[in-house]
């Protein structure tokens, strides 16, 4: 049993829930899965799911579905919505595949995609703008900056997850804000959407300080209609929070958060290193694992159960922990522990009234919860130098020895980054380790490309790719950086411009849910002007024009005479007369002086 | 100023030079040829021609602001009330099916006299009209009359039907207002049947007094509104009532929320309750405003930490809230009470179920369980019977039935009427709604007029703001609808008047809050100097000087020519 099998189990659970006839028109579930990861990290996956019947949704009678969100969705004719707030980087090298197969995470910052019911593209975009503006207010995020330049219409990267009666009139729109900083002000409205509001149940563990201190965290809101073949349609809202906490870091007390070095005698050194000595140490991870408890890691204990979720049998055990069974786990009174047959999962049925805490002591264990290898490694960077041109390099690694990986690479680039698609090149490094340049068309099986229009829309590029087994493929293309107008620069122009992460949808396994990977977001430095420029320009051009004009005008208007003639003329002019008077006064003074003498 | 060459010498050098060269100074250059003078004149004229005919128009065009023409005087006249004096002639039908025609005519005439004597507010007067058509007097239901406002033809709306019926066994006349229709039944003892000879029969006086009483509140309200909130009887109570009510809107969003500090009750039978208790009322309101309804359930809704906690009162055996703390009852920071999306204000109705440990909860001073938050909504404290929990202690029921929602929704209906500004009297709901139509029409007429006045003053006091053409068209729409409102009022067609006043008000608001006008560009004069001076200084000075010299030469030449001719 691995994490991915756990995920598939969860998905199977969802599928069964979906397929089973819905007895109650509205119900609510929540679940928390805790899993220690290598490098003293802890993955906590929170999942909240509420259903409401289509009829009461349409009539605006909200019970488990939040009213604020429901009204926005109805106003914008949004049939399916996916909203993501993500910070940090998922370290796939050491943590393995992503939770929920990446389907519940977004690129760094904010990502939003929705299926909107509209007659044509124009109407859909108008509703999309309504949606982003309203969500911006609801979630205190800068979603109102998702304008036409940040909006794309992906063709093959996303599929609706709900059941829609009229798919033809639905328009998929996708927008990202890679520069958005996700923080506590986004968590508070997120919690308000939950029926138990972070006051009871697993949501009572949320603390903004801990959540946004995580090495990686992703909040998601998904809304979709589900229509069982034999019953009334329901509207489902699913909210998840996934975070990877550094246990050591989280255990620091809030009053004294300064990290302290581990005392020498407690250091565990790798003695096999050649440089190992009494003052040089290569620290090893503790074999016995970290000791932690909910109170220490989250700063608070779990406050009973959310009573709305009680009625359902499966979410009776709403907290699950994935550690080997041989590992000791202490839990507070009133809770009942259930060990699952897989040997690594145990779940807890909580008492409704008592607070719940669990603690894991340090213990040397033989078995570890095995982690899967991710299906695909992906890395994306900007290469090149200078203010004018650059290049993009995307590296895909297929760790599998036997199977090829088919996937779709979806890039949405800002308009001021102008890619040259004809420069698309591929270098493939096979199992022998020899890099070989191949034409890109050999790997790319399909291209969906929508070029940018300056200040109107960004580039949208979807590539269907295939990476052979045990190979690494490096895709590169060149781009040109546009020069922006003076007013288009943000206040911190020299920091660079965020480029949204690429979304990779892996197409293997035709029946199961798709796997998504997102690269990190990029920072693109653009040439920045001197911002005191306009006034300088006014002054400089005025001076030049005045000089040129003065010269030309004088040549045209002035009379040319010789020097002594000029003197004679000068005596008649205003200046000459003043000078003459001055001379006369001087002469008189001189005369007086001579008289005195 | 004459020659560049002279500038190269320092003043001192030139001074000595003049002293030295004075004897040789007779060497004056030959006079300029007329061609040279002509050429210089043409050059300067060409430069100035370019400036005047090209530069200046371009500058004017690019820096001027578009200001559409507004009928400032008309707008100010509307605001000052010079254009329209709103009047409210109410047509009241009198039906006396048992009386003879001359008798009933006499009754109507004498009653009208009595009414006119009683009335002290000229703008609002009642006009009696005899209809012995029995169908008309009995048939109209409240529903028809309420909608009559919109479907009115040219004739005035019928405000009320008075039915005069003799009844045996009465000492004095008696009146009865039907609660669901616009009909007033007057029963009189047959002995008091009006005699054509008497000039002031007691029955007429009675009817006049009844009618006067029926419309006294409406009269006072309209007098209060028209006088701008100063005059009128009961000015204090009326202005308090008007302050509580919402601003008029086309659409109101009604939001019903169930709040509870714990986890129960988590559901309520809201759809049926709204259908049963509220829909009829909203239907009756249809000619005045539209409504949307949404509901929500919010658990774990705690008081804000600033709110004083309820206190247990031994005598009442209940938890009590102090009256002055009610304003802090709603935890605006945490409770999700955001306004609904779409145009129009939101009215919030909160059903609060207290925690079992604090149940029952009432207001200390008057044992009330509900109150109005002015211009915002209403609150109702629902104390359901507690159930015994399995583990000891008491819990709220998990579900609130439709029946237990009944008192809450009765209160909410009442609060809704108050928040919408419906008068408290008379008892008949159709009459109150008709009265509301007139009050709203008067309010809208005045507010749109005063918006026009404000807009006129604004555009006059800020000459640098642009006035787009849309504002001008909005203003003209407003003015035309204002005058049609006025004429509808004069004709007694109040429903049509309200419809016109609605359009006038919304257009007036649109013109006043026009975005491109509000966001006026602010260019301080220092900035203009900083931008213009570097260019105009070095260029303008030589141009001006040369122009002056040329003019001087022309004037001198002209004078010389005149002298020579003289």
Give A-chain residues touching B26 at CB under 8 angstroms.
568
- Give the residue-averaged pLDDT of B394-408: 88
Interface test with A, best of B32, B36, B336, B556 (most A CBs within 10 A): B336
Give A-chain residues touching B391 at CB under 8 angstroms: 353
Write down the residue that tokens 């009215």 correspond to.
B347
Q: What angle do CA A507, A110, A162 make, to 5 degrees?
A: 50
Whether the predicted pLDDT of A9 surpasses 60: no
Q: Which of A334, A532, A566 to mutate to test the interface with B (most CBs of B within 10 A)?
A: A566
Contacts of A306 in chain B (CB under 8 A): 263
The per-residue pLDDT for range A324-357, each reduced to its tens digit, is 888 888 988 888 888 888 888 888 888 877 888 9
Note whether B103 and B193 are within 8 A (CB). yes
The pTM of this model reads 0.80
Which of A243-247, A478-482, B310-314 is predicted with the least confidence, judged by mean pLDDT? Answer: B310-314
| Nearest residue to B201 via CA among B210, B192, B209, B191 | B192
Kindly report the CA angle at B137 between B135 and B141, in degrees rounded to 5?
A: 90
Q: State yes or no: cis peptide before A456, omega within 30 of 0.
A: no
d(CA A159, CA B97): 75
B residues 331..370 contacting A (CB < 8 A): 334, 336, 338, 340-342
State ipTM: 0.78
The per-residue pLDDT for B523 is 65
* CB atoms A60 and B293 under 8 Å: yes
pLDDT in the model for residue A281 = 84
Q: Contacts of residue A580 in chain B, CB cutoff 8 Å?
A: 18
Q: Which residues of A touch B537 (CB under 8 A)?
A: 546
Confidence class of residue A300 from pLDDT cuts 50, 70 and 90? confident
Q: Once rounded to an integer, what is the mean pLDDT over residues B88-111?
A: 83
- B405-443 burial string, b = 16+ CB within 10 Å, else e? beebbebbbebbbbbbbbbeebebbbbbbbbbbbbbbbb
Q: Alpha carbon of A316 to those of A29, A298, A338, B213, B408: distances in Å?
A: 9, 22, 11, 66, 35
Query: Structural domain boundaries of chain B?
Result: 88-222, 248-387+394-419
Residue A584 forms part of a structural domain: no
Listed residue (A458, A398, A457, A461) closest to A424, CA to CA: A461
Which two tokens mark A185? 């002000």
CA atoms of A516 and A504, how far apart (whole Å): 6
Is B1 close to A579, i.e. CB distance below 8 A? no
Nearest Cα to Cα of residue B281 among B263, B254, B262, B305 = B254
Assigned domain for A511 exists: yes
Question: Could you report the per-residue pLDDT of A493-541, keeping only the tens digit for each?
Answer: 888 999 999 999 998 766 677 889 999 899 999 988 887 777 788 888 8
Q: Map residue B304 onto helix, strand or coil.
A: coil
Q: What is the mean pLDDT of chain B?
A: 81
Please, which pLDDT band fits residue B49 given cuts at 50, 70 and 90?
very high
Residue A234 lies in a domain: yes
Determine the residue among A193, A551, A561 to mutate to test chain B binding: the one whose Cβ has the most chain B Cβ atoms within 10 Å. Answer: A561
Restricting to A residues 29-58, those with a Cβ less than 8 Å away from any Cβ of B are 56
Question: Is A196 within the bounds of a domain?
Answer: yes
Q: Is the dihedral of CA A365, A371, A373, A377 positive or negative?
A: negative
| Fold assignment, B88-222 | Chitobiase; domain 2 (3.30.379)
Which residues on B lie below 8 Å from A557 (Cβ)?
40, 43-44, 542, 546
Same domain for A431 and A349? no
Q: Give the end of a domain, one of A469, A502, A524.
A: A524
* Start-to-end C-alpha separation, chain B: 33
Mean pLDDT, rounded, for B437-443: 88
CB–CB of A545 and B539 under 8 A? Answer: yes
CA A228 from centre of chain = 33
Q: Which of A63, A67, A573 sits opposite B267 (nearest CB)?
A: A63
CB contact under 8 A, B302 and A199: yes
Which A residues, 396 through 425, put their C-beta within 8 Å of a C-beta on chain B?
Answer: none
Say whether residue B546 is in contact with chain A using an 8 A CB cutoff: yes
Domain boundary among A330, A360, A390: A360
B5 touches A: beta carbon within 8 Å: yes
Total tally of structural domains belonging to chain A: 2
Report d(CA B446, CA B80) in Å as an integer.
10
- d(CA A6, nearest CA chain B) in Å: 31
**Interface size between A and B, measured as CB pairs under 8 A:** 158
Does A159 share its domain with A130? Answer: yes
Residues 285-304 of A with CB under 8 A from B: none
Interface of A with B in 60-99 (CB under 8 A): 60-63, 66-68, 71-72, 75
- Concatenated DSSP letters for A328-348? --EE-TT-EEEE-TTSSEEEE
Number of separate helices (H) and strands (E) present in chain A? 13, 29
Supply the pLDDT for residue A14: 43
Residues A290 and A389 in one domain: no
Domain that holds residue A473: 377-524
CA distance A301 to B364: 38
Token pair 């009133």: residue: A334
Q: Helices (H) and strands (E) in chain B — how many of each? A: 19, 17
Residue A532 belongs to a domain? no
- Lowest mean pLDDT of A567-571, B244-248, B256-260, name the range: A567-571
Chain A residue closest in CA terms to B11: A579
Report CB contact under 8 Å: A571, B11: no
Q: What is the DSSP string of A33-78?
A: EEEEETTTEEEEEEEEEEEEEHHHHHTTEESSS-HHHHHHHHHTTE
Tell me which chain B residues have a C-beta less than 8 angstroms from the C-beta of A191: none
- Does B28 sit within 8 Å of A542, measured CB to CB? no
Of the residues A360, A394, A425, which one is the last residue of a structural domain?
A360
d(CA B200, CA A173): 79
Instruction: Tell me what the mean pLDDT of segment B74-88 comes to.
Output: 87
Closest CA of chain A from B280, distance in Å: 18
User: Do A306 and A205 belong together in one domain?
Assistant: yes
- Using CB atoms within 10 A of its CB, is residue A435 exposed (0-12), middle (13-18) or buried (19+)? exposed
pLDDT band at B101 (very low <50, low <70, confident <90, very high): confident
CA–CA distance, B304 with B318 (Å, rounded to integer): 21
* Per-residue confidence (pLDDT) for residue B491, from 0 to 100: 86
Q: In terms of CA atoms, which chain B residue is nearest residue A64? A: B297
Q: What is the pLDDT of residue B20?
A: 45
A32 belongs to a structural domain: yes
Strand partners, A497: A524
CA–CA distance, A56 with B220 (Å, rounded to integer): 44
Residue A344 in any domain: the answer is yes
Judge contact between B508 and B79, C-beta under 8 A. no
Cβ of B37 under 8 Å from any chain A Cβ?
Answer: no
Residues of chain A positioned with their CB less than 8 A from the CB of B259: none
- Residue among A195, A557, A576 whose CB faces B40 most closely: A557
Say whether both A513 and A453 belong to one domain: yes
CB-based contact (8 Å) between A384 and chain B?
no
- Return the CATH fold of B248-387+394-419: Collagenase (Catalytic Domain) (3.40.390)
Report the pLDDT value the prediction gives residue A582, as an integer from 0 to 100.
86
**Contact list, A535 vs chain B (CB under 8 Å):** 530
- Taking the Cβ of residue A334 and every Cβ of chain B, the question of whether any pair is shorter than 8 Å is answered with no
Other Cβ atoms within 10 Å of B97 Cβ, number: 14
Q: Does residue B527 belong to the interface with chain A, where contact is any CB pair within 8 Å? A: no
Could you tell me which of B89, B290, B284 has the C-alpha nearest to residue B179? B284
User: Which residues sit opposite A85 in a β-bridge?
Assistant: A110, A219
Measured between CB atoms, does A590 come within 8 Å of chain B? no
What's the per-residue H, E or C state across A396-417?
Answer: EECCCCCCCEEEEEEEEECCCE
Mean pLDDT of B437-456: 90
pLDDT of residue B18 exceeding 60: no
Count CB neighbours of A595 within 10 A. Answer: 7
Which residue from A199, A553, A570 is facing B6, i.e. has the nearest CB?
Answer: A570
Q: Within a domain: residue A299?
A: yes
**CA A201/CA A132 separation, integer angstroms:** 30
Of B300, B338, B340, the CB nearest to A199: B300
| Selected residues 161-220 of chain A with any CB under 8 Å from a CB in chain B | 192, 195-197, 199-200
A574 contacts B27? CB cut-off 8 A: no
A583 contacts on B by Cβ (under 8 Å): 15, 18-19
In terms of domains, do A295 and A336 share one? yes
Query: What's the rounded Cα separation, in Å, for the pair B268 and B351?
Result: 11
Same structural domain, A356 and A500: no
Highest mean pLDDT among A78-92, A241-255, A317-331, B182-196: A78-92
Tell me whether residues B29 and A561 touch, CB distance under 8 A.
yes
Closest partner CB to B1 (pick from A62, A138, A573): A573
CB B498 within 8 A of CB B434: no
CA distance to partner chain A, nearest, from residue B270 (Å): 8
Name the band, by pLDDT with cuts 50, 70 and 90, for residue A573.
low
Helix axes B525-565, B34-50, angle to 10 degrees: 150
Q: Rounded to whole angstroms, how far apart are CA atoms B332 and B381?
A: 17
Question: From the CA of B258, how many Å to the nearest CA of chain A?
Answer: 10
The CATH number for A454's domain is 2.60.40.740
Window A:538-577, CB contacts with B under 8 Å: 538-539, 542-543, 545-547, 549-550, 553-554, 556-559, 561-576
């Amino acid at each position: 049993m691995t994490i991915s099998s756990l995920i598939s189990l969860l998905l199977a659970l969802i599928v069964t829930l979906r397929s089973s006839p819905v007895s109650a028109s509205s119900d609510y579930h929540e679940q928390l899965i805790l899993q220690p990861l290598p490098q003293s990290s802890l993955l906590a996956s929170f999942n909240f799911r509420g259903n409401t019947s289509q009829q009461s949704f349409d009539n605006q009678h909200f019970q488990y579905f939040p009213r604020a969100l429901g009204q926005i969705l109805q106003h914008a004719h949004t049939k399916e919505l996916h909203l993501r707030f993500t910070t940090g980087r998922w370290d796939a090298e050491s943590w393995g595949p992503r939770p929920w197969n990446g389907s519940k995470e977004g690129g760094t910052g904010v990502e939003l995609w929705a299926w909107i019911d509209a007659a044509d593209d124009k109407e859909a975009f108008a509703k999309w703008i309504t949606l982003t503006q309203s969500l911006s207010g609801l979630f205190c995020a800068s979603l109102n900056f998702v304008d036409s330049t940040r909006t794309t219409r992906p063709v093959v990267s996303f599929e609706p997850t709900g059941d829609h009666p009229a798919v033809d009139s639905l328009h998929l729109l996708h927008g990202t804000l890679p520069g958005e900083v996700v923080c506590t002000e986004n968590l508070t409205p997120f919690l308000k959407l939950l029926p138990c509001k972070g006051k009871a149940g697993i949501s009572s563990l949320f603390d903004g300080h801990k959540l946004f201190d995580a090495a990686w965290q992703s909040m998601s809101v998904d809304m979709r209609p589900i229509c069982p073949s034999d019953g009334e349609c329901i509207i489902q809202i699913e909210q998840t929070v996934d975070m990877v906490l550094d246990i050591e870091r989280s255990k620091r007390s809030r009053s004294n958060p300064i990290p302290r070095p581990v005392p020498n005698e407690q250091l565990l050194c790798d003695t096999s290193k050649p440089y190992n000595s009494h003052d040089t140490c290569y620290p090893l991870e503790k074999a016995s694992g970290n000791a932690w408890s909910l109170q220490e890691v989250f700063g608070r204990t779990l406050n009973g159960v959310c009573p709305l979720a009680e009625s359902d049998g499966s979410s009776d055990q709403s907290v699950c922990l994935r550690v080997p069974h041989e590992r000791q786990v202490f839990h507070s009174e009133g809770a009942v522990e259930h060990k699952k047959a897989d040997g690594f999962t145990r779940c807890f049925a909580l008492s409704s009234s008592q607070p719940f805490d669990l603690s894991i002591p340090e213990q040397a264990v033989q078995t570890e919860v095995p982690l899967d290898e991710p299906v695909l490694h992906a890395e994306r960077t900007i290469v090149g130098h200078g203010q004018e041109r650059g290049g993009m390099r995307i590296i895909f690694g297929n760790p599998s020895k036997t199977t090829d990986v088919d996937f779709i690479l979806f890039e949405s680039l800002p308009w001021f980054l102008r890619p040259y698609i004809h420069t698309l090149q591929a270098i493939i490094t096979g199992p022998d380790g020899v890099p070989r340049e191949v034409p890109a068309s050999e790997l790319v099986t399909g291209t969906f490309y929508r070029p940018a229009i300056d200040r109107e829309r960004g580039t949208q590029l979807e590539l269907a790719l295939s990476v052979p087994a045990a190979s690494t493929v490096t895709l590169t293309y060149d781009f040109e950086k546009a020069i922006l107008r003076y007013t288009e620069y943000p206040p911190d122009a020299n920091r660079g411009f965020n480029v949204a992460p690429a979304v990779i949808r892996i197409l293997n396994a035709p029946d199961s849910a798709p796997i998504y990977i997102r690269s990190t977001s990029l920072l693109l430095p653009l040439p920045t002007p001197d911002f005191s420029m306009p006034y300088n320009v006014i002054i400089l051009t005025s001076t030049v024009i005045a000089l040129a004009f003065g010269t030309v005008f004088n040549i045209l208007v002035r009379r040319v005479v010789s020097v002594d003639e000029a003197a004679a003329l000068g005596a008649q002019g205003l200046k000459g007369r003043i000078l003459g008077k001055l001379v006369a006064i001087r002469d008189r003074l001189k005369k007086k002086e001579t008289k005195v003498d | 100023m004459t020659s560049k060459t002279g500038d190269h010498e320092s003043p001192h050098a030139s001074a000595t030079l003049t002293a030295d060269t004075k004897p040789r100074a007779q060497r004056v250059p030959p006079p300029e040829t007329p061609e040279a003078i002509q050429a210089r004149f043409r050059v300067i004229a060409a430069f100035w021609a370019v400036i005047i005919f090209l530069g200046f128009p371009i500058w004017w065009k690019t820096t001027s602001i578009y200001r559409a023409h507004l009928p400032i005087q008309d707008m100010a006249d509307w605001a000052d009330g010079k254009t329209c004096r709103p009047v409210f002639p109410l047509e009241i039908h009198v039906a006396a099916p048992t009386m003879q025609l001359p008798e009933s005519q006499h009754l109507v005439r004498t009653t009208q006299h009595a009414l006119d004597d009683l009335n002290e507010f000229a703008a609002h007067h009642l006009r009696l009209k005899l209809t012995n058509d029995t169908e008309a007097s009995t048939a109209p239901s409240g529903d028809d009359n309420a909608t009559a406002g919109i479907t009115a033809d040219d004739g005035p709306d019928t405000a009320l039907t008075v039915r005069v019926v003799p009844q045996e066994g009465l000492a004095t006349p008696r009146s009865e207002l039907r609660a669901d229709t616009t009909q007033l039944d007057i029963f009189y003892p047959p002995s008091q049947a009006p005699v054509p000879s008497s000039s002031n029969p007691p029955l007429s006086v009675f009817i006049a007094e009844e009618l006067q009483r029926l419309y006294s509140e409406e009269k006072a309200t309209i007098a209060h509104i028209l006088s701008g909130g100063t005059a009128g009887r009961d000015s204090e109570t009326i202005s308090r009532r008007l302050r509580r009510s919402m601003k008029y809107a086309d659409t109101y969003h009604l939001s019903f929320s169930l709040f509870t500090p714990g986890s129960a009750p988590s559901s309520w039978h809201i759809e049926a309750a709204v259908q049963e208790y509220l829909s009829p009322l909203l239907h009756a309101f249809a000619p005045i405003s539209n409504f949307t309804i949404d509901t929500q359930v919010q658990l774990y809704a705690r008081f804000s930490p600033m709110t004083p906690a309820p206190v247990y009162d031994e005598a009442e055996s209940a938890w009590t809230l102090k009256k002055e703390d009610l304003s802090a009852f709603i935890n605006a920071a945490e409770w999700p009470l955001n306004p609904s999306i779409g145009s129009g204000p939101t009215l919030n109705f909160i059903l609060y179920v207290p925690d079992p440990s604090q149940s029952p909860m009432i207001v200390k001073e008057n044992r009330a369980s509900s109150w109005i938050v002015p211009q915002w909504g209403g609150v109702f404290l629902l104390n359901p019977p507690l159930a015994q929990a399995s583990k000891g202690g008491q819990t709220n029921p998990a579900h609130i039935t439709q029946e237990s929602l009944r008192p809450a929704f009765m209160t909410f209906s009442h609060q809704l009427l108050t928040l919408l500004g419906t008068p408290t009297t008379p008892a008949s709901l159709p009459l109150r709604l008709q009265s509301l139509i007139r009050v709203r029409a008067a309010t809208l007429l005045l507010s749109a007029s005063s918006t026009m006045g404000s807009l006129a003053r604004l555009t006059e006091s800020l000459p640098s703001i642009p006035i787009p053409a849309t504002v001008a068209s909005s203003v003209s729409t407003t003015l035309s609808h204002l005058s049609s409102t006025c004429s509808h009022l004069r004709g007694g067609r109040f429903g049509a008047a309200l419809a016109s006043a609605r359009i006038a008000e919304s257009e007036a608001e649109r013109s006043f809050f026009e975005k491109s006008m509000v966001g006026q560009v602010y260019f301080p004069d220092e900035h203009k100097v900083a931008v213009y001076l570097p260019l105009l200084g070095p260029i303008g000075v030589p141009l001006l000087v040369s122009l002056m010299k040329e003019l001087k030469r022309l004037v001198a030449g002209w004078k010389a020519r005149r002298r020579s001719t003289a």
